[in-house]
Structure 1
Amino acid sequence: MVLPNINWRAFISSQPINIMSRSFAAIFAGYLVAASACGLLALIMPLSAAQSTLTAMMLSFSFYAAAAIWAFSVRTSWQAWRDLLLISAILYIFILWVN
């Protein structure tokens, strides 16, 4: 079987691949940011357990939307992945510290 000669660097930097990568970053890494922010807010809010959980879950939609907007506003798709994963990791470290 003969593989076609493809310029992989040009293929990866093409516009459809860039949009697909940003979309996946917005969907998956944005979900991680929203879930981490929801968990942290549920732990640190000075409400009852049920009320802080519900309030944090409602606020997580705004974090998810902000992460999706961020994924399409940065210069490169790699920067979107890096920033969103770094934010979710920092939030998770705060969860471990608080808990």
Structure 2
Amino acid sequence: MVLPNLNWRAFIRSQAINIMSRSFAAIFAGYLVAATACGLLALIIPLPAAQSALTAMMLSFSFYATAAIWAFSVRTSWQAWRDLLVIGATFYIIILWVN
């Protein structure tokens, strides 16, 4: 069995892989940011529990959109992944600290 001679460095650095990685960062890491921001806001907004959760859920759409825009505005796809995951982890740590 003969494997084709692929240039893996060129394949990984291709534009298609870059766009796919940014898309996955926007979808999955953006969802992580939106979900953790929603949970954090639901805990810290000084309203009754139902109104606080509803307000946080409505605001989470703006966090998701901002994360998607961020994923495509940074220089590299690795930076997009790193920044979004760090923001999501930070929000989660704050949730654990507040709760």
- TM-score calculated relative to the size of structure 1: 0.99
1:42-80 per-residue CA deviation (whole Å, 9 max, x = no partner) reads 001100000000000000000000000000000000100
Q: Which residue of 2 aligns with 1:64?
A: 64
The alignment status of 1:51 with 2:51, answered yes or no, reads yes
- Rounded Cα–Cα distance in structure 1 between residues aligned with 2:2 and 2:81: 34
The alignment status of 1:40 with 2:40, answered yes or no, reads yes
Equivalent residue letter for 1:83: D
**Which runs of no fewer than 5 residues in structure 1 stay unpaired?**
none
Equivalent residue letter for 1:79: Q
- Rounded Cα–Cα distance in structure 2 between residues aligned with 1:95 and 1:7: 44
RMSD: 0.5
Task: Give percent identity, aligned residues only.
Answer: 87
Q: Which runs of 4+ in 1 moved over 6 A?
A: none
**Which runs of no fewer than 5 residues in structure 2 stay unpaired?**
none
Instruction: Count residues in correspondence.
Output: 99
- Rounded Cα–Cα distance in structure 2 between residues aligned with 1:44 and 1:18: 37
